[in-house]
């Protein structure tokens, strides 16, 4: 009994002695596209992407609601006080009198911001009630209706800037959502091929062990007949042992890669994936000019650049507005009255007007205003230079990825042919060795070339599909169907 069979036998005995059953995981075949779909729909990272998209949506809703009419209710119910208060008497002396009062007020306000000017108009209705419990008196005071306006003059208008910037933020978040989904495809592809390569290595190791074991048995018979040296026999035995170790390591690598893929896909149950090798590749050609054009249209970078330029311009405007001459206008017109009952306020109310213009202007600030404005202007220039460089880098990244994609696509045919030739050459070398016409060294060389060619083919497939989904992620364009990539929201 060889070492591997003895190890397996001892493992089974240990499980049975401990009263445990050896559960066989269910087998499931998966293609690359199925793994990508699962990653984009059920993985933890997919849920994070969905949550981020929803968060951006509600931030956008919140920003939009700030420009709509706002209705608010404010009040104080009640404001009770019982204390001893100093009261100045007619003769100038002070007497301490007990006071027990309650004051309540409530008001309803309808307001609307004026985005182009940064101001606000409002309509409000107020009501106050005063109770003097010591004198058993109740008084009412109110403003049935007041119309007013608040308008900054010469100041930074945050409302106007936000109305230009916030829509860009939302559009940027929608494009980021698609990019994040495609990034999941890139990660799923890498994990898929990690497992596929591990499974191929395990298959290679198993076949090599079987072949080497067969060759060793045949060599043993030849050795007995004196047709094979002991050195060659020992070399074949060493090959069997090395193949056994390689199979054990390949099995461990497969389990590690399988666990990584299952964790990424949020799969907890016992299941074993038999991956289907994606031998067919997209036929549609990729032209760099089209890729750059689609990347500009579909990626968030174009919106991101515009938003950052606007934000830098906004910061410069804020520096100018906050450090110069500022003024504000506040004016109201309405009705007011008082009475001993609630209805007295609405009987014959009097007019009420108020107007105020306030201003502020620095006279001596030791250059602080000029420094703040200059810093904001220089930052605006720096942002413009940075964005210009980022645009160049982005286009270069797209071109590089296109070239890599096309190169890897052409390499697949070469590695596939090399794989087939190396496999056929090994079969010939094995049969030739069995009839004693080549040495064990030549056979081992053919074996190593066969394994290397097989791994090179899988590696070329892995590199190609990684480049393919990286290109999709860079351009957000489906070159097979010639349309922009989108997902249901």
Task: Give φ, ψ of 309 to 5 degrees.
Answer: -65, -40
**β-bridge mates for residue 110, sequence order:** 71, 123
Closest CA to 143 of 94, 106, 189: 106
Inter-residue contact 104 to 75 (CB < 8 Å): yes
CA-nearest of 59, 161, 64, 66 to 120 is: 66
Residues 253-293 pLDDT 10s: 999 999 999 999 999 888 899 999 987 888 878 999 999 99
For the chain of 489 residues, list the mean pLDDT of each consecutive stretch of 10.
45 44 72 94 94 94 93 90 87 87 92 93 92 86 91 90 94 94 95 95 91 87 84 88 93 95 92 89 88 93 93 92 85 85 78 85 82 91 94 94 92 92 92 83 88 92 94 93 85
Parallel, antiparallel, or unpaired for β 119-132 and 477-478? Answer: unpaired
Short-list 280, 283, 301, 284, CA closest to 398: 301
465, 193 Cβ separation under 8 angstroms: yes
Query: Rg of the Cα trace of the chain?
Result: 40
Q: Summarize pLDDT for 81-126 with one digit per residue, the tens.
A: 888 888 888 888 888 888 898 999 999 999 999 999 999 999 999 9
pTM for this structure? 0.81
- 461: enclosing H helix or E strand: helix 440-475
Q: Are 329 and 295 in contact (CB under 8 A)?
A: no
At residue 489, the pLDDT reads 64
DSSP three-state, residue 336: strand
DSSP 187-228: HHHHHHHHHHHHHHHHHHHHHHHHHHHHHHHHHHHHHHTTSS
- Residue 180, pLDDT score: 95
Q: Which two tokens stand for residue 81?
A: 């006080």
- State the pLDDT at residue 284: 78
Nearest-angstrom CA–CA distance, 50 and 54: 6
Pairing of the two strands 119-132 and 137-153: antiparallel
Non-local CB neighbours of 37 within 8 Å, separated by 6+ positions:
none
**215 Cβ partners below 8 Å, 6+ apart?**
236, 239, 430, 433, 434, 443
The predicted structure's pLDDT at residue 23: 52
Relative orientation angle of helices 440-475 and 158-224, to the nearest 10 degrees: 170
> For residue 175, which of 480, 476, 461, 385 has the smallest C-alpha distance?
476
Contacts of 417 (CB under 8 A, 6+ apart): none
Residue/partner pairs of 342-348 with CB below 8 Å, 24 or more apart? 342/127, 342/140, 344/140, 345/127, 345/140, 345/141, 345/142, 345/144, 346/144
CB neighbours of residue 114 within 10 Å: 16
With contact defined as beta carbons under 8 Å apart, do 119 and 113 qualify?
yes
Rounded (to 5) percent helix, strand, coil in the chain: 60, 20, 20
Compute how many other C-beta atoms are within 10 angstroms of the C-beta atom of residue 282: 15
Upstream peptide bond of 314 is cis (omega within 30 degrees of 0): no
Alpha carbon distance 119, 126 (integer Å): 22
| Contact indicator for 66, 112 with CB cutoff of 8 Å | no
**Distance between CA 459 and CA 412 in Å, rounded?**
9
């Amino acid at each position: 009994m060889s070492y591997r069979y003895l190890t397996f036998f001892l493992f089974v005995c240990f499980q049975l002695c401990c009263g445990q059953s050896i559960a066989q995981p269910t087998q499931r075949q998966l293609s690359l596209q199925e793994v990508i779909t699962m990653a984009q729909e059920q993985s933890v990272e997919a849920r994070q992407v969905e949550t981020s998209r929803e968060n951006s949506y509600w931030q956008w809703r919140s920003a939009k609601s700030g420009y709509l009419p706002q209705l608010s209710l404010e009040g104080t119910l009640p404001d009770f006080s019982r204390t001893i208060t100093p009261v100045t008497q007619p003769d100038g002396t002070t007497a301490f009198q007990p006071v027990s009062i309650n004051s309540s007020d409530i008001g309803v306000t309808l307001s609307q911001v004026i985005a182009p000017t940064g101001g606000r108009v409002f309509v409000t209705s107020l009501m106050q009630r005063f109770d003097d419990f010591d004198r058993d008196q109740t008084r009412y005071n109110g403003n049935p209706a007041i119309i007013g306006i608040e308008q900054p003059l010469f100041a930074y208008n945050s409302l106007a800037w936000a109305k230009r910037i916030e829509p860009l933020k939302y559009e940027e978040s929608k494009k980021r959502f698609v990019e994040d989904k495609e990034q999941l495809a890139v990660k799923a592809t890498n994990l898929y091929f990690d497992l596929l390569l591990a499974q191929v290595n395990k298959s290679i190791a198993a076949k090599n062990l079987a072949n080497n074991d067969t060759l060793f048995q045949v060599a043993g018979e030849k050795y007995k007949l004196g047709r094979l040296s002991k050195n060659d026999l020992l070399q074949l035995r060493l090959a069997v042992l090395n193949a056994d170790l390689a199979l054990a390591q390949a099995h461990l690598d497969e389990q590690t890669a399988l666990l990584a893929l299952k964790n990424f896909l949020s799969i907890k149950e016992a299941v074993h994936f038999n991956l289907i090798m994606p031998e067919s590749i997209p036929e549609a050609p990729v032209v760099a000019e089209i890729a750059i054009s689609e990347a500009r249209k579909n990626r968030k970078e174009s919106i991101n650049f515009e938003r950052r330029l606007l934000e830098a311009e906004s910061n410069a405007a804020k520096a100018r507005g906050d450090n110069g001459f500022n003024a504000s206008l506040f004016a109201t017109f309405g009705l007011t009255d008082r009475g001993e009952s609630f209805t007295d306020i609405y009987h014959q109310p009097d007019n009420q007007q108020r107007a105020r213009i306030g201003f502020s202007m620095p006279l001596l600030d030791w250059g602080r205003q000029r420094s703040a404005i200059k810093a904001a202007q220089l930052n605006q220039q720096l942002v413009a230079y940075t964005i210009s460089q980022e645009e160049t880098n982005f286009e270069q990244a797209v071109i590089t990825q296109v070239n890599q994609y096309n190169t890897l696509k052409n390499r697949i045919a070469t590695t596939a042919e090399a794989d087939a030739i190396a496999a056929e050459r090994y079969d010939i070398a094995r049969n030739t060795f069995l009839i004693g016409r080549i040495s064990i060294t030549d056979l081992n060389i053919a074996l190593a070339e066969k394994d290397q060619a097989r791994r090179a083919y899988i590696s070329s497939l892995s590199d190609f599909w990684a480049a393919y989904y990286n290109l999709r992620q860079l351009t957000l364009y489906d070159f097979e169907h010639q349309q922009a990539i989108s997902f249901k929201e």
